[in-house]
Amino acid sequence: MNAKKKFDHSNDLVLLPLGGTGEIGMNCYCYGVGPADDRQWLMVDLGVKFGEATDPGIDVVLPDVSFIAGDRRNLVGLVLTHAHEDHLGAVAWLWPQLRCPVYCTPFAAQILNLKLKEAGLDEEVEVHVLAQGSRFSLGPFDLEFVAVTHSIPEPTALLIETRQGKVLHSGDWKIDRTPVLGVGMDEKRLRDIGEAGLDVLVCDSTNVLREGHSPSEADVAATIMDIVRQAPARVAITTFASHVDRISSAVKAARATGREVVIAGRAMRNTIEAARVCGYLREAGEFLDEEEFGYLPPDKILLLCTGSQGEPRAAIARIAEDQHPHISLEPGDLVIFSSKTIPGNEKEVSRIHNNLARLDIDIVTSDEALVHTSGHPRQEELRTLYDWLRPRVLVPMHGEPRHLRAQAKFAASCGIAETLIPRDGHIAKLCPGPARIVDETHAGRLHVDGRLIVPAEDGPAKQRRKLSFVGIVLVSIALDDKQQLAGEIKLITDGLPAGLDDELLDAADQALSSTPKPRRKDDEQVAEAIRTAIRRAADTIWGKKPVVKVAVLRV
């Protein structure tokens, strides 16, 4: 009787997400071909996630790419689907670990180059600029940029063809048949890909919980035009700095109503410059600097500014606090929040709303009018794409666990035979044959702390988080050669209620008195005895145990 032949997985096409499956943001997906110990890898996107309130001092979170960095000789390249921060924002931080060529469209290249210049890497990184629709090959991967519509110029899906099978990596997309800028979605090419046979669709899950179709950007443009036309005084519009379509719509409304356009915010000005280099906004006319704001009549000005997500240093936050050096709004002026609040930013955005209200300034948000539409697909758009492509397997990406699960269930209800939900660090075999998880590797997060990259799990943010809850006690104690106190114990507290110092000093003194002299020769034992006593005393009086640091000096 012949033994059952074991299937050879050495040449499977696999997907390894290092970010983007389990969270919205930090997108980083690696496709691999070859035996497990010698795969060739293609990385698609390398983005950031913005820090949360639970990580004090951390503004940016990066995917941990150490697994791929350890095998970078087999990394054939990094392909960027578009220019949003959650898809390319980590390149300047992490490229030194990867040192591979980068491939992207012209607009993404302009945005990336600004970041590389800031990092001093613009002369080192090999960036290949390709138009939407371009086809190119990297190692065993034959690739094609397929034009889609999103909320930024030149968004692309990526068709990945290998000997093992075909995958369409959707990138971020929606179906918008009346986009304000760009070539629009290449529906014909997507249908052709489906006709030729597609093994796997790796697909954006962000808006899967919403029914119906997303409104068109043209509908938002019409609403903004109406609001600006009716506004009697100054109008400020705050939106995502990268949203060139929305900037274009705002500028058209300003020109149609005889208003000058003032730009406030470096990120928005950089985006506008990049867009113009690539042929967008060339007919938008000249923009004024924020220094010119105060010289214009109220009904002749439209301000475009950053800060729609409540960023404390952004223009609209400082304007709302009446702290901006050049711009101030007055009662009866109008601020349009042309964006959706990203989950986690609600408190910060609400604070700006309330600060504006205190100044008697009117506010319009997407809850009151169609001043924003998402760049991600709702259920009927997903259904339409499924019908065009008819994939054998659906792999949801770009979402939190509930989004991934919801898309897998929705795809199954639309007749897709197989669905697979990997998590960051899972190695998923896509083809040939049934899709399944075959292995797992390290995938974590890194924090950008000032100018440094530090660990997320056991890095400084963890200690700061603790300090924010319980404060800190610093103790200095000097001992002479007879193990006696050489002066008074010194104690400094920060973040503790007033009036605890005497009790904590008594606890430290008693702890030292209770420590036998032979043990006082050991600095660590002395420090630990005092630390434990102070924490115990604070807990008894206050109900909390502070962080305690003890310095033992020898005189």
Report pLDDT digits (tens) over 255-266. 999 999 999 988
Q: Where are the alpha helices (DSSP H) in 415-495?
A: 460-470
Residue 81 gets which letter from DSSP? Answer: S
Kind plus residue range of the DSSP H or E element containing 495? none
Q: How far is CA 218 from CA 14, 284, 317, 363, 387, in A?
A: 39, 17, 28, 22, 25
Report the alpha-carbon distance of residue 332 to residue 327 in Å, rounded: 15
Q: How many helices and strands, by DSSP H and E, does the chain display?
A: 16, 28
Report the alpha-carbon distance of residue 299 to residue 303 in Å, rounded: 11
**Reduced 3-state DSSP string for 136-188:** EEECCEEEEEEECECCCCCCEEEEEECCCCEEEECCCCECCCCCCCCCCCCHH
Burial class, 125, CB count within 10 angstroms (exposed 0-12 / middle 13-18 / buried 19+): buried
Residue 206 gets which letter from DSSP? Answer: T
Q: Where in the chain is the domain with CATH 3.10.20.580?
A: 471-554
| Secondary structure of residue 194 in the 3-state scheme | helix
Residue whose structure tokens are 């924010």: 468
Length reported for the chain? 555
Q: Which residues pair with 552 in a beta bridge?
A: 477
Query: Which residues neighbour 462 within 8 Å (Cβ) at sequence distance 6 or greater?
Result: none
Q: What pLDDT is recorded for position 37?
A: 86
The b/e string for 57-74 (b: 16+ C-beta within 10 A; e otherwise) is ebebbbbbbebbeeeeee
Asked if CATH classification 3.40.50.10710 holds for the domain at 217-364, the reply, yes or no, is: yes
- The CATH architecture to which 13-212+374-455 belongs is 4-Layer Sandwich (3.60)
Q: What pLDDT is recorded for position 10?
A: 65
Please state whether beta strands 362-364 and 235-238 pair in parallel, antiparallel, or not at all (unpaired): unpaired
Report the alpha-carbon distance of residue 329 to residue 323 in Å, rounded: 11
The b/e string for 226-257 (b: 16+ C-beta within 10 A; e otherwise) is ebbeebebbbbbbbbbbbbbbbbbbbbbbeeb
Tokens read off for 269: 């000005």
CB atoms within 10 A of CB 481: 9
Residue 48 gets which letter from DSSP? Answer: -
Q: Where in the chain is the domain with CATH 3.40.50.10710?
A: 217-364
> Sign of dihedral through CA atoms 359, 360, 364, 365?
positive
CB atoms within 10 A of CB 412: 13
Nearest Cα neighbor of 358 from 338, 337, 329, 324 is 329
Tokens read off for 4: 């059952």
Q: What pLDDT is recorded for position 6?
A: 45
> How confident is the model over 487-527, as pLDDT tens digits?
899 999 999 999 999 999 999 999 999 999 899 999 999 99
Asked if 371 contacts 179 with a C-beta cutoff of 8 angstroms, the reply is no
Q: Which residues of the chain have pLDDT under 50?
A: 1-7
Q: What pLDDT is recorded for position 2?
A: 43
Note if the bond before 297 is cis, omega within 30 degrees: no
> Sign of dihedral through CA atoms 62, 170, 270, 134?
positive
Report the alpha-carbon distance of residue 110 to residue 108 in Å, rounded: 5
Tokens read off for 300: 């002749």
Q: Which residues pair with 397 in a beta bridge?
A: 204
Report the alpha-carbon distance of residue 45 to residue 41 in Å, rounded: 13
Nearest Cα neighbor of 134 from 143, 125, 123, 124 is 143
Q: What pLDDT is recorded for position 4?
A: 40
Q: What pLDDT is recorded for position 3?
A: 41
- The CATH architecture to which 471-554 belongs is Roll (3.10)
Report the alpha-carbon distance of residue 212 to residue 69 in Å, rounded: 42
Asked if 244 contacts 83 with a C-beta cutoff of 8 angstroms, the reply is no
Burial class, 280, CB count within 10 angstroms (exposed 0-12 / middle 13-18 / buried 19+): buried
Q: Where in the chain is the domain with CATH 3.60.15.10?
A: 13-212+374-455
Distance of alpha carbon 376 from its chain centroid, rounded? 15
